[in-house]
Structure 1
Amino acid sequence: MKYKSVFDIIGPVMIGPSSSHTAGAARIGRVARDLFGREPEWATISFYGSFAKTFKGHGTDVAIVGGLLDFDTYDERIKESLEIARSKKIKIKFIEEEAITNHPNTAKIIMGDKGGEMELTGISIGGGKIEIIELNGFVLKLSGHHPAILVVHNDRFGAIANVSNILAKHRINIGQMDVSRKEKGKMALMTIEVDQNIEEAVLSEISALPNIVQVARISD
């Protein structure tokens, strides 16, 4: 999910006139796809603030669905993403929300299939940059610009240290780490941005640890 140049964001291969409303939206959709781990069968996408007012004119709807289809920001297929989604029988619903949010370019995606569903909220902060601020009710701050792993775990002593030890054993450097929990002693979420892509074997090792519920990754 890297840009080769500024033209990958605002140039002719990118839909729409605004990097915030198109490239940023595509990145939000693609991070959601990465964390869900597969192509969804349906998605309900709610736009807030500026997104809600201009999403059709600026191609925000097309871009965010392109991200859900795993298209990068400079992929020309983004222009046909709504048609491609329909051809795959992916049900897409857009909602223009009137609620006021902390950031004008906010999108909430609820997506799923027969195997489950996921809810994610992201903001586009300009120049194609984004932050994921909520995942399944957990508050977080994830840029999507670096490889990362998200670990859902029981809020127990030693859970964080065990994950850190595995990353250290594999010589994986942690760039940023945040922990969020809904309630003391219940479920918690580790968000760990790292300096390199995480191999499947490392994810499996983390998944096998005590108190680990689910592990997902975002690759560079």
Structure 2
Amino acid sequence: MNLFEIIGPVMVGPSSSHTAGAVKIGNLSRRLMGQDIVSAVIQLHGSFSATGKGHGTDRGLIAGLLGLDCDDENIVNAFDLAKQAGLTFSIDECDLGPDAHPNSVRMELYGNKGKGLEIVAASIGGGRIQVREIDHMRCVFSGDCPTLIAENDDRPGMIAMISELLTDRNINIATIQLDRSSRHGHAVTVMEVDNEIDAKDLLWLRHQAGIIKIIYLSMEENNNVR
């Protein structure tokens, strides 16, 4: 356990998990979209649903979708800011099943350039978050470092191809997770890395045989790929 996990983030309260975590989920979703969000269908699960309104989860999510940070005093005005920005939204309850973290949310988002995103994420305490699913692909990552998500054919050589590219660019892989729908079906590879991946390398990956979809979460503004 590190110091951040003990004292939590610098934030506007009242809750690091229900408020700050919600802001971070919204903000990460906005970065993945790479454009202004104009429509959001938000479904709260478990504790997010039961106590989220009193703890500011609803406003936190909207604030994050608007690009606000956890310590922004305008979080309390998120609904008014959304109206000014042309962001329409609905907030409802849902049941994501017994395996879902109690502080979970599912969002269906649409941007001003027509791009859509479906995301399931959770606030796991101390302002930390975890993405669980993107566009129906199972994936687990924190959003704290550059992250490459590849949907690919389940066949030999796919992980090696991605790893060799990163090695050639002197990019270290911090974590790697693998999942697949079935043998020889579709697989998902999630790599959290220590350095940014160049846009031209992401474009190269997208055009390789066996690659179905590439999603990239950058720590730099306007450098995300979907």
Same fold (TM over 0.5): yes
Q: Percent identity?
A: 33
Per the alignment, residue 10 of structure 2 pairs with: 9
- 1:21 and 1:171 map into 2 onto residues whose CA distance is 38
Give CA-to-partner distance per residue, 1:6-52, whole Å, 9 cap, x none.
58534xxx1x3100001111111122222233223211111111110
Instruction: Note the residue ranges of structure 1 that are not aligned, 5 or more in a row.
Output: none
Per the alignment, residue 217 of structure 1 pairs with: 216
Give CA-to-partner distance per residue, 1:43-70, whole Å, 9 cap, x none.
1111111110122211111111122223
- 1:125 and 1:7 map into 2 onto residues whose CA distance is 12
Q: Alignment length, in residue pairs?
A: 213
1:1-220 alignment, distance < 5 Å: 8-10=9-11, 14=12, 16-97=13-94, 101-102=98-99, 103-113=101-111, 115-220=114-219
User: Which runs of structure 1 show a deviation greater than 4 angstroms over 4 or more consecutive aligned residues?
Assistant: none
CA 75–154 in structure 1, closer or farther in 2 if over 3 Å, else same: farther
Residue identity matched to 1:57: G
Instruction: Note the residue ranges of structure 2 that are not aligned, 5 or more in a row.
Output: 220-226
Report the CA distance between 1:156 and its aligned residue. 3.2
CA 117–211 in structure 1, closer or farther in 2 if over 3 Å, else same: same
Tell me the SS of whatever aligns to 2:171.
coil
Tell me the SS of whatever aligns to 2:10.
helix
- 1:8 and 1:77 map into 2 onto residues whose CA distance is 17
Q: TM-score, normalised on structure 2?
A: 0.83
Residue identity matched to 1:33: R
- 2:180 and 2:132 map into 1 onto residues whose CA distance is 14
Residue identity matched to 2:130: E
Q: Could you tell me whether the CA contact under 8 Å between 1:110 and 1:118 is conserved in 2?
A: yes
Q: CA RMSD in A?
A: 2.3
